[in-house]
Structure formats: structure tokens, C-alpha cells
């Protein structure tokens, strides 16, 4: 019953409730798909077949008794190998992490899903310490794109996005410190939300500070709302958590889009060479919002690119990650990672505080912008997936990954909710993403607008051929 692997989480739970199929069948379908596609894309650090099937059998008993543990009972889920999940190591893509230590604690988001009876399929790949926008590491190798394994899946949550795109579980937990759920969502043709900072509690705290968010990667916006209902809300282990959520994200999806004030910014007002196919697809998505009754205006938010300030915060963060390592352990790190760590070590406390000044000013500017506009729409990426195994596209002239993803990291600086959903494919059949951004705390609005766009069919793109071949079904 491998076709179950292609169903959304909401469709799966509806099927469990109706007795059409069981969580055991769904878990087997997801595991089968994962095992079949793993040699092609390398999306997983490990699969948890025995544990998943055991959990699925317990879920099946609860559904038969009419007592599911929660709305996600029996749904297959994958977890980025940055996020703690008890029972096995979280190696963070690095040869410097000791696998033999005790692994007996769940991160808050994992704990919430476990309480609801979700079925954990496995851990997904990440670059070393999630430091860059593509997914390859000295420990786990290269993660390929579901549409073309010779291309990158994006990063740093590339394994999770590839898993969702290929049917190896409809839900995946990722992290996003500069675009790390939105970049791979755009490249792999799935949905992702970077929630308002603190909306989903994070523990342990990220070394990248308040840039990093936990967020869902899913088949569509409705599944993301379902997942957000489960993982949002306070946890005492996160000192920067937000308070309880007001209402259900899933129940708020049906609100109107008509009347929303939408700012469409093709380049954020910067000199960004957006590929024509990308620009055309994003414009079509914006036109769909207008057809739904939104008031659309082409306007830029009049902000400056904060990339240098972002580098100061990001590179000093990764330098702090490796600070405890001795010289021998540092030799195990990816060479490019060692380079940015050395750069991060050169920043002073005053440099860091100056970057924070840039960040606070940017936050104020975007806050003022959203007094006029409910949503900002941009391309998620100016490009589609490029060659796997490199940090930047060959011949691009970029030195670091931030050079080719200018539309994502600014909204980590401002802590705003931002989502990516597919809006077409390029001439090579590679997905294109459109980004929706709203004011802080307006996560429900982002999900509602994205859900409305799914209803127009703008996100209907072909499934990866790999998922349908004898080696991938």
C-alpha cells in the first residue's frame, strides 16, 4: 500500500478514523519509500523501522478503541538531526560529536509529537552544525534533490524537505536560522514555515541565538497548521519562548484573503538577478492573490541588505559551537566551516553589538512596513536547485551561501513568520518557491494566505519522478 506514502497527514488521520487503513500500513508505506529513495538522495542519517512499527501498532489500537492520543496520532514524522530525539544520537552532521554519550531527552517539539502518538520514521540529514544553505557534511555526505539527485536539496534542512517531497513521511521538523526550512522547501517543491521566533520552543538553545527557529516542512499549508497546533506553546526549557497560542492554526485557515493588503516585491529593491522563470512564476502566484480579492501593490520595503550584520551574528555563532574543540577535533571539521569559524573568532563584542543595532533597526523598519501591508511576497529564491556538493553555484561569483539566498535571512534577523510554497517549475522541471512574510505573531495569517493559494492550484507541480519509479515507489 505504498500509495499511502503520498497522502497528507490530514488525509491519513481521516482514513484512520474511518477505518480505511491503519497507522501500521501508513508507517510501512513511509518506511518503504524512505528505504527505496535513500540510495538516490541520502535524506536520512538513520531510519527507525522497529521503533516506528511498534509505535504504529500502539496507535492502531488507540484508533480502533476510538481514543487517539491527539490529532497527529499515527502520522509518520521525520526529525532533522539537529533536534534532540531520545533513543539515538543527534550527531549534527559532524564527526566531532560523540555518539556514545547518553541520548535520553526529547526536544520540546519532539516531546509534543510523542505525546500525540506521532510515529517517528527517522532522523534527516543536515550540513555540519546546520551552518549553510545546502545539505552535505563530512559525516553523512551529500543530500540530493528529489527532482534531480545531481542537484542540491538546499539546506540546512535538506534531508527533511527531500523526505517530504518523496513521501517518506508527510511531516518533518526542521530548523531555520537563515532560510534553512524555506530554502530546501523551494528547491524540493514542498511547504515550509519559519514561525515567529519563540512560537515553537527550542531546547537546547541554538548557538546562533535568536536567529534560529524550529519549523515544519510539509506537503501543504494545512498539514503545517496541524503540526503547528501540536508543537507551539511554552516549554520552561526555552527562556525566550512565547506565551500560549490563541486559537488553533488549523481552524484559522478558512479565514478570508479578500481585503488583505499585499506588497509584492520582486527583488526587495536590491540588485538581485532573479531568473526570468522564477520571476514569472512568482508573479503568477501574486496574481492569484489578487484574484482572491487581495489588494496587491508592487512595492519594496525600502530596507538595506543586512548581510554583513548577519554574517557577524552567524559566523560568531558557529565559532562559539566549535570553541570547545581541541586542535585535533577541529581538523575533522569541513574546511569551509573552519574558515568561517576563524572569521567569527575575529569579531569583537562591539562588532556583535553593532550587528544587533542593524538587526533592531531592520525590525523597526519591517514593523512600520506592516502597519501598511499585511503580507510581503517575494521569490523564496532567485534561482532553482544547482549542482549538489558545492556551497555556491559554480560561476556565480558568490563566496558564501548567503550570496544566492538574499530573500530568506533578513526575516531571521527580524524574527517574522515566513513561509515558502511551490508556484511552478523551471524548464528543467525543478521547483520554484514563493515566499509569504507577515508581521511578528501573524503566523496564522501566513498559513491562511498560503492555504488559499493552494486552493487556486498554483502549487500543483509534478511529483518527483523518483517517487514513482520502481526504485522509488
Where in the sequence numbering do the catalytic residues fall? 80, 156, 180
Name the DSSP letter for residue 37: H
Q: 387 - beta bridge partners?
A: 151
Q: How far is CA 244 from CA 113, 139, 231, in A?
A: 17, 38, 11
Contact 208, 82 (CB under 8 A): no
Q: Residue 219 class from Cβ within 10 Å (0-12 exposed, 13-18 middle, 19+ buried)?
A: buried
**Cell, residue 418:** 515566513
**What CA–CA distance (Å, rounded) separates 86 from 136?**
24
**What CA–CA distance (Å, rounded) separates 388 from 296?**
36
Contact 76, 170 (CB under 8 A): yes
Non-local CB neighbours of 38 within 8 Å, separated by 6+ positions: 44, 47
Buried b (16+ CB within 10 A) or exposed e, 60-79: bebbeeeebbbbbbbbbbbb
**CA-based Rg of the chain, rounded to a whole angstrom?**
21
Closest CA to 9 of 197, 194, 204, 231: 231
Closest CA to 47 of 59, 24, 33, 31: 31
Q: Is 172 helix (H, G, I), strand (E, B) or coil?
A: strand
Q: 436 - beta bridge partners?
A: 377, 419
**What CA–CA distance (Å, rounded) separates 31 from 468?**
15
The DSSP bridge pattern shows strands 418-425 and 191-194 to be: antiparallel
DSSP H helices, 232-326, are: 276-291, 307-322
**What CA–CA distance (Å, rounded) separates 258 from 20?**
37
**What CA–CA distance (Å, rounded) separates 342 from 348?**
13
Contact 155, 80 (CB under 8 A): no
**Cell, residue 360:** 533592531
Amino acid at each position: 500500500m505504498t500509495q499511502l506514502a503520498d497522502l497528507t497527514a490530514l488525509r491519513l488521520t481521516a482514513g484512520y478514523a474511518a477505518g480505511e487503513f491503519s497507522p501500521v500500513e501508513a508507517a510501512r508505506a513511509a518506511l518503504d519509500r524512505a528505504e527505496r529513495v535513500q540510495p538516490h538522495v541520502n535524506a536520512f542519517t538513520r531510519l527507525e523501522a522497529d521503533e516506528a512499527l511498534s509505535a504504529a501498532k500502539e496507535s492502531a489500537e488507540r484508533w480502533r478503541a476510538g481514543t487517539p492520543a491527539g490529532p497527529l496520532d499515527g502520522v509518520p514524522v521525520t526529525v532533522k538531526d539537529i533536534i534532540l530525539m531520545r533513543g539515538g544520537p543527534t550527531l549534527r552532521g559532524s564527526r566531532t560529536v560523540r555518539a556514545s554519550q547518553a541520548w535520553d531527552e526529547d526536544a520540546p517539539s519532539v516531546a509534543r509529537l510523542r505525546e500525540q502518538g506521532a510515529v517517528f520514521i527517522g532522523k534527516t540529514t543536515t550540513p555540519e552544525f546546520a551552518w549553510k544553505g545546502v545539505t552535505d557534511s563530512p559525516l553523512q555526505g551529500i543530500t540530493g534533490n528529489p527532482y534531480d539527485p545531481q542537484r542540491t536539496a538546499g539546506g540546512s534542512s535538506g534531508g527533511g524537505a527531500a523526505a517530504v517531497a518523496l513521501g517518506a513521511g508527510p511531516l518533518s521538523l526542521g530548523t531555520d536560522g537563515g532560510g534553512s526550512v524555506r530554502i530546501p522547501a523551494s528547491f524540493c517543491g514542498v511547504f515550509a514555515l519559519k514561525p515567529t521566533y519563540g512560537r515553537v520552543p527550542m531546547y537546547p538553545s541554538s548557538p546562533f541565538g535568536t536567529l534560529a527557529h524550529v519549523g515544519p516542512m510539509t506537503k501543504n499549508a494545512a498539514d503545517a497548521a496541524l503540526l503547528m497546533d501540536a508543537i507551539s506553546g511554552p516549554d520552561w526549557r526555552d527562556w525566550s519562548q512565547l506565551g500560549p497560542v490563541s486559537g488553533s492554526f488549523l481552524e484559522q485557515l478558512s479565514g478570508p484573503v479578500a481585503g488583505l493588503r499585499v506588497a509584492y516585491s520582486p527583488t526587495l529593491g536590491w540588485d538581485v538577478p532573479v531568473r526570468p522563470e522564477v520571476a514569472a512564476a512568482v508573479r503568477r502566484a501574486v496574481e492569484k492573490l489578487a484574484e482572491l480579492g487581495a489588494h496587491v501593490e508592487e512595492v519594496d520595503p525600502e530596507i538595506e541588505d543586512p548581510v554583513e550584520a548577519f554574517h557577524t551574528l552567524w559566523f560568531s555563532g558557529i565559532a562559539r559551537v566549535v570553541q570547545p574543540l581541541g586542535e585535533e577535533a577541529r581538523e575533522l571539521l569541513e574546511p569551509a566551516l573552519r574558515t568561517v569559524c576563524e572569521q567569527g573568532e575575529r569579531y569583537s563584542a562591539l562588532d556583535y553589538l553593532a550587528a544587533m543595532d542593524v538587526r533592531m533597526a531592520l525590525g523597526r523598519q519591517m514593523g512600520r512596513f506592516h502597519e501598511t501591508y499585511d503580507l510581503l511576497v517575494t521569490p523564496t529564491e532567485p534561482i532553482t536547485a544547482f549542482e549538489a556538493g558545492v556551497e555556491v553555484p559554480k560561476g556565480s561569483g558568490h563566496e558564501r551561501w548567503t550570496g544566492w539566498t538574499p530573500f530568506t535571512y533578513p526575516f531571521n534577523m527580524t524574527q517574522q513568520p515566513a513561509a515558502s510554497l511551490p508556484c511552478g517549475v523551471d524548464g528543467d522541471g525543478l521547483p520554484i518557491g514563493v515566499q509569504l512574510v507577515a508581521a511578528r505573531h501573524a503566523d496564522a495569517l501566513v498559513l491562511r494566505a498560503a492555504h488559499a493559494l493552494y486552493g487556486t492550484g498554483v502549487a500543483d507541480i509534478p511529483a518527483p519522478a523518483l517517487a514513482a519509479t520502481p526504485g522509488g515507489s
